[in-house]
Amino acid sequence: MKNTANLSRRHFLRTTGQAATALATVSTFAPAVHSASSPGKTIGVGCIGLGTRGGDLINAVVNVANIKVTAVCDVYEPHRQKGIERSLNPAVKAYDDYRELLADRNVDAVVIATPDHWHCQMVLDAVKAGKDIYCEKGLARTLNEAKLMRDALKQSGVVFQLGHHARQAACALQAKELLAKDILGPVTLVRTGRFKASPPGHPNWRWYGYYDQWDRPDPAKVAKEVNWDLWLGPAPRIPWNERHFWHWRCYWAYGTGYAGDLLSHEMDFVQYLLGHGVPDTCDCTGMISQLKDDREVPDTWSAIYEFEKLGRTVTFTGSMNTSRPKQPVEICGRDATLRFDDIAHDVTRFQILPEEHNTRTDLPKGYEGKKTPKQPNHMEDWVDCIQSRGTPKCSTDEAFIEAATSLMSLISYQQRRRVRWDAAREEIV
């Protein structure tokens, strides 16, 4: 394990949390001049975090027109090497400290795919550096972090996209347009969920660098190749711990478990379709029912949200101990139900099922493939908006709704009570 961090770096790591709060002023967030704002210009992208999801995102961004990956950053040497190889750029720069990447003049925009505990500070620093930002979900570990990021982004000219790629589906856009016409009647119930069986020896979130990799790398070798101080960053100081490094989603210090990883996908998709904003209330329960492997976060998660003025309830049910039954996204109205074929980010079509009392003859039966053009993928949407200075599909305001919604379930679970969204104060009470 590297212990070569100098005094300024150690000071930075100790004071990151305080710095995030101090950064919440208008003048702090005046960004540098954007250099990638004209259509057709090659945009230099820096990829921060190149592990599981980050490895997928660099593959996505290198295939977008007018993009060159000019820099990569990871605190783990094999992941940096993966980034170099996947950048498709022999001149790519590699860093272990993201601040050095942000200072690189050849970087116009950044893709942040680090553990969640780093999102806030990296977004704030990228805004200050004038870089456009694609950040993986979930946005934040706390509501204060979400507010800091939202305010900084809205006070800047930065183009921001949160990584909920279900919004790219053509069938989702077609459904959204139909729902806006009230073809289902009043929507009173939405059902979502995530189920996944965990074979013995392969418990969820316990992979090693990718979703299907279960062979444990040599811990002594990994320790030498990780800058542990930089990995921890704003998280509590603890000695090197390979389980926290590889399996960070299992521990509260680095993420929000089911809330930010899986529930956020489904609830963001529902928000895209219906646009109803932050729920009024949430009741959530969870437990570690089977995966008793020192994880802190539940393997079972159930949340009920209410939108009181709309008379609408949205449910999420999740289990890591069964793959049956599968719960596709269902929008249930008084007169008909719109049912997708899969979970949010895998949807390809939908069907519309009328109630018996519905005598309409013009009601669509479901997704009409040729009616809605293929949409730019989520990364292309972000790049298109960088060039046009437009608003991506999962922009700053939508990201804040995602954060508040998922965090309501987290706080309800942790405090064992119903929570409410105070819209005037923007607080979970």
Note whether residue 388 is domain-resident.
no
The total number of structural domains that make up the chain: 2
What is the reported pTM? 0.92
Cα–Cα distance between 248 and 328 in angstroms, integer? 27
Quick one: 234 and 92 in the same domain? yes
38 and 98, same domain (yes or no): yes
In a domain, 163, yes or no: no
pLDDT digits (tens, 9 = 90+) for 273-303: 999 999 999 999 999 999 999 999 999 999 9
Confidence of residue 34 (pLDDT cuts 50, 70, 90): low
Structure tokens at 380: 């292309």
Residues 217 and 285 in one domain: no
Asked if 73 and 142 sit in the same domain, the reply is yes
Statement to judge: residues 119 and 175 lie in one domain: no
% of the chain exceeding 70 in pLDDT: 91
Do 280 and 173 share a structural domain? yes
- Give mean pLDDT, residues 71-86: 98
Residues 235 and 323 in one domain: no
Q: What is the pLDDT of residues 13-29, one digit of tens each?
A: 444 444 444 444 333 44
The predicted pLDDT at position 17 comes to 43
What is residue 259's DSSP assignment? I
Residue 40, pLDDT score: 72
Considering the domain boundaries, does residue 271 fall inside one? yes
Which range marks the domain in which residue 83 is found? 1-158+207-246
| Residues 322, 328: Cα–Cα separation, whole Å | 15
As a whole number of Å, the end-to-end CA separation of the chain is 42
pLDDT, average across residues 253-268? 98
Same domain, 123 and 191: no
Looking at 246, 277, 302, the residue that finishes a domain is 246
Residues 15 and 74 in one domain: yes
If one compares 79 and 30, the residue with the highest pLDDT of the two is 79
**Domain final position from 216, 246, 276:** 246
Q: d(Cα 214, Cα 29) in Å, to the nearest integer?
A: 42
Say if residue 103 is in the same domain as residue 146.
yes
pLDDT at 405: 98
Residues 231 and 347 reside in one and the same domain: no
Give the CATH number, domain containing residue 289. Answer: 3.30.360.10
Same domain assignment for residues 105 and 122: yes
